Structure 1
Amino acid sequence: MARKGKFLHLLEYSALKVTVAFFGSMNVDRASDVGGWLGRRIGPRLSFTNRARNNIALAMPELSAEERERIVVDMWDNLGRTIAEYAHLEVFARPEERHRIDVVHAETLRALAASDNGGIVISGHFANWEILPVAMQFENLEGGEVYRHANNPYVNKWMIGLRERVTQAVQVPKGGPGARTLVKLLREDKFVAMLVDQKMNDGIEAKLFGHRAMTTGAPAGLAVRYNAPIFSACVERVKGAHFRVTVYDPITARPGADAFEDVMRITQELNDFLEARIRERPHEWLWLHNRWTKQRQTRPRRR
């Protein structure tokens, strides 16, 4: 690592630790509220937020400029809360704080686990996405969670350590070594959680909001090859630092179907799931991703 790059990484990591200490000095509800307040007032003014405005206009052109801007402001409220809640992630995993996470339709997952079978749980960057593995821990679903390696190695190490302490789940990096770990977990009838809403340049081209979107084929590929059911889940922020996690009916491989066609079908079904949930609660999705295949976009005017 070059000296300048290392210095910048250490600076970023120091800023992270100061932020965590700031929000950690408050209780979880107060921290969430303050984070939301800061997010609403700072986030919409940042230049890269224009990507979110462009994405919303591309995905839902029927919305007015005012409606799009309301989504942007509320997105930053949620994101500010999520950032603040990292300082209290361990609080959510405490048995006495179980009331903060309501899990809907978890009985299917429990029944599968009781029968010594596992599966794949997919979701997107909804509400506070770190809550999903915590909910899985509450439901005694052993396994792992896939993560994208942070560019900053110090931040990456901190994040992995935090998730390991909170969820007790195996941390699985995206890529070759991670794929081997995923297969091992599924063969051991464990559960694997992954977020599938980010752009994957070497993935499968599927549609999202009617536009081309390069999408990971990993969950579909695992489902077809290892006959593992895929459970879609969505995290919603009910109020403040309280959440609802809804688990949906499983998507399974079709016996005897062409493997390639089945992977394509399942991948599109997962994108259809994501789109439906985003339309229901657009303010709780992270629109800042560079999600769609590059195409010409114009900056929407603000009124």
Structure 2
Amino acid sequence: MATTSKEKKQESGFDPWNAAVSFAMIAVIRLLGILPYRWRVPMMGWTMSRIVGPILGYPKRVRDNLTMIFPDMPEIQKQQMARAVPDQVGRTLAELFSPQDLIATAAKSPMTGEGMAALDAAREEGRPIIIVSGHVGNYDIARAKLIERGHNVGGLYRSMNYRIFNDFYVSRISQVGTPLFLRGRRGMGQMVKFLKQGNTIALLIDQHMSAGAPLKFFGHTAYTALSAAELALRYDALLIPCYGLRNSDGMTFEIVVEAPIPHADPEGMTQALNDSLERQVRAHMEQWLWVHRRWKTLKK
């Protein structure tokens, strides 16, 4: 049977569209990288809010999610959020692709909250720690701060659709700290081994997981992975919510460490994590990734 051109591309591992999109995104990031950091971050926010976001359909996704969760929200507020959320996305991307500036910003960011004593005690005891956050503010600010405070932090990341761009992305976030584990069976095994050695891992709780439990987030069913709670129970790890929240100036952060989640059943512990994130999102509405398809239902 003759080999098609598509099959040849897959065999060679080269996809022209993937390469074109990757190089275009990398070029924009490098171009903005010429600007000083204090200009680069808001400029990337403006670019995402006014140009890239609308092309990707972000404003509609934001309004659709807000309409579902807050049916009585005034239209003018939805429009403001549809502009503010992509701006926050752009700012976060600029920070993630400026690792040395991100590290410097984290070093100057205060870290407070009810969970600080438990966090420090677990580190001194060599007890495994599972930090759980979400796409609110900038989660890597918290990771960088924990590393500065002496924690050996490993992170789980999801591979992006564009392979070349993904390699560029990983090369940048690796500068904040390693190890990083690719989501999947192999990466999970590496992460578990790392955790069992008494280290800290950082996970995000707010992505749709079709194999997850049907828990609640903003009063609607959101399929959520139980893995953070299950790992905490299996390895007696401290399970603690932590958030890097952006201040009103758009450039600085406060890192909030909440009280640890008590060990119980995985579903109850994970629901407590969802509730924790919901409280933070309600307090910082424009900082959460409302473009997420968080409330997808399982296909029959």
Does the pair score TM above 0.5?
yes
Q: Alpha carbon RMSD of aligned pairs, Å?
A: 2.0
Deviation string, structure 1 residues 173-210 (Cα, Å, up to 9, x no partner): 22211221222122111000011101001111101111
Map 1:210-229 to 2 at 5 A: 210-229=219-238
Which digits, 9 at most, give the CA deviation of each residue in 1:133-189, with x for residues without a partner? 21221111103001011122222222222222222x211122211221222122111
2: CA distance between counterparts of 1:10 and 1:293?
30
Matched, 1:13 2:13: no
**May I ask how many residue pairs the two structures share in their alignment?**
285
Deviations along 1:27-84, whole A, 9 cap, x unmatched? 1111012122223323563362212211111122231111122112111221121222
Q: 2:293 aligns with which of 284, 290, 294?
A: 290
Aligned residue runs from structure 1 range 21-32, under 5 A: 21-32=30-41
Partner amino acid, structure 2, of 1:22: L
**Deviating more after overlay: 190-199 vs 130-139:** 130-139
Instruction: Tell me how far 1:101 sits from its aligned partner.
Output: 2.3
Match of 1:55 among 37, 40, 65: 65
Please tell me whether the aligned partners of residues 127 and 199 of structure 2 are also in contact (alpha carbons under 8 angstroms).
Answer: yes
Q: 1:232 to 1:251 in 2, by over 3 A?
A: same
What is the 5 A alignment of 1:167-186? 167=177, 169-186=178-195
* Superimposed CA distance per residue, residues 70-119 of structure 1 (whole angstroms, 9 cap, x where no aligned partner): 1121112211212222332222224xx55542222344322321221221
Which 5+ residue runs of structure 1 have no aligned equivalent?
255-261, 296-303
Secondary structure of 1:46's aligned partner? helix
2:215 to 186, 206, 209: 206
The runs of 5 or more residues in structure 2 that have no matched partner are 1-6
Q: Secondary structure of 1:185's partner? A: helix
* 1:45 and 2:54 are equivalent in the alignment: yes
Distance 1:47 1:83 in 2: 15
- Describe the shift of the 1:2–1:202 C-alpha distance in structure 2 as closer, same or farther (beyond 3 A): farther
Change (3 A) 1:80 1:47: closer
Q: Whole-Å Cα distance in 2 between the matches of residues 65 and 47 of structure 1?
A: 21
Tell whether 2:9 aligns with 1:3: yes
CA distance in 1, matches of 2:164, 2:49: 28
**1:273 aligned residue:** 276
Q: How many Å separate the matches in 1 of 2:110 and 2:27?
A: 31
Give the partner amino acid of 1:132.
A
Q: TM-score, normalised by structure 2?
A: 0.88
- Cα offset for 1:253? 1.4
Counterpart of 1:203 in structure 2: which amino acid? G
| 2:108 matches 1:125 | no
Alignment partners' CA distance in 1, 2:270 and 2:258? 16
How far off is 1:2 after superposition?
5.3
Corresponding residue number in structure 2 for 1:109: 119
Is the contact between residue 52 and residue 288 of structure 1 (CA under 8 Å) also seen in structure 2?
yes
> How far, CA to CA, are the matches of 1:2 and 1:139 in structure 2?
49
Amino acid at match of 1:101: S
Measured in 1, the distance between the counterparts of 2:229 and 2:72 equals 32
What's the TM-score, normalizing by structure 1?
Answer: 0.87
Aligned-residue identity in percent: 26
- Cα distance in 2 for partners of 1:222, 1:13 equals 35
Distance 2:218 2:280 in 1: 12
- Counterpart secondary structure, 2:136: coil
